[in-house]
Structure 1
């Protein structure tokens, strides 16, 4: 059974853990209405108590004070809404970055296994560049490059396992 008060599990590592809007909005409206009523009654009582003359308190002064406080509360709620929206946007941005890095990783790994030496060399450079850009998975990229270099190869072109250009791909590139 679905529990409406239980927070939803994040959909990704960068998804903020937020309460559902359909639950927060009505509760907020009820709280704001109760606060508005309390503010009106409190303002009326405060202004009446502060009134040293026996002249009755003007209702417009009470309403102005209540509206001013409600406006301030509205500004705070708008700020909270903007902050929540920013958190969601940052989470979406992080997920998009991670997706892009994963696609670049898959492409570079695919290039490392290609038959053409120029494509393999491009894969080495692509994996190295990805390691520079992707700090969270830098070690994985370095491990893949090291594993590629540790793979056996035949430098003799008379052997059956010989791959043309493999020696150049594995050679240390000159700056």
Structure 2
């Protein structure tokens, strides 16, 4: 059954206005304009007549009343036309935003699908597509970053003789690390990922470079990660504000380089980490204010180098089992 005076149903996902039918609105609008014109005509006639009364003036001609009424109606019409144009602009902008959002969503779905492909070349394309989407979609940038970090958290077999080994996977992972690093170089850049949460919990790293990166604000977690083989490079990086967790992390058979890094503000935690069979360098690093903790860390068969380390008076460092060499004040 059709109800004649019911508004049009709103279309889901379109954000369209809930409008009355045209056949109902048009006669109503004409009737309203007629009443307004009638009221304006008599109002103008009374106003002009009152101004001429008692001053020895002639009665106001009908033409003057009509001119005044038409002028007022013209001004009202102009105002309504401007309002209609503004409303139309809002609708056009809304349609444009919806189209953009649809396109970005489609790009996200396609990139995510590529990341799950069997062929490494297709996964690489998905990595670049997701990174580009993060640059173009500030509202969902954190989501895109989360997807790339989640890829690094997926099981990763480094031994070619094991069943789970996938050819080309190392290059895909190194590409993700390089892309993240490139977005952490300049905090003032419009597409920077500085201040974003980076979750590498439980990931396996057999190399990769974060050198020169700025980890500022947000939360960066390497908790439960394993650094095995290769060189993980944090040379010259800056850790400021926020919180960076390397607790607990297993540094086994790999080289981790924090040489020349600056730890300023926030917390950098190595609590419960295991240093075994590898080398971790803090050569020439600087610890200003903030907190660094090696509490409950285990040093077994590995080497932690602290030569040239500089510690500011406001820095709070819990060395745990490490035996710090003499350090200098910055």
CA contact (8 A) 1:7 1:17 kept: no
Distance 1:25 1:136, change over 3 A: farther
Distance 1:134 1:88, change over 3 A: same
Gap regions ≥5 residues in structure 1? none
- 2:119 is aligned with 1:125: no
- 2:40 is aligned with 1:35: no
Q: Tell me which protein shows more strand as a share of its residues.
A: 2
- 2:23 is aligned with 1:20: no
1:110 and 1:73 map into 2 onto residues whose CA distance is 55
Secondary structure of the corresponding residue to residue 95 of structure 1: helix
Q: Which moved more, 1:4-13 or 1:20-29?
A: 4-13
- 2:151 is aligned with 1:148: yes
Match of 2:65 in 1: 62
Count matched residues.
174
CA contact (8 A) 1:104 1:130 kept: yes
Secondary structure of the corresponding residue to residue 164 of structure 1: coil
Could you tell me which of 103, 115, 119 is aligned with 2:118?
115
1:48 and 1:147 map into 2 onto residues whose CA distance is 81
CA contact (8 A) 1:117 1:164 kept: yes
- 2:84 is aligned with 1:81: yes
Deviation of 1:28 after TM superposition, in Å, equals 2.8
Pair member with larger Rg: 2
2:79 and 2:122 map into 1 onto residues whose CA distance is 56
Gap regions ≥5 residues in structure 2? 183-330
Q: Tell me which protein shows more helix as a share of its residues.
A: 1
Which structure carries more relative contact order (alpha carbon 8 Å, separation 6+)? Answer: 1
TM-score by length of 1: 0.87
2:129 and 2:3 map into 1 onto residues whose CA distance is 46
2:10 and 2:144 map into 1 onto residues whose CA distance is 30
Deviation of 1:6 after TM superposition, in Å, equals 5.7
1:2 and 1:124 map into 2 onto residues whose CA distance is 53
CA contact (8 A) 2:8 2:21 kept: no
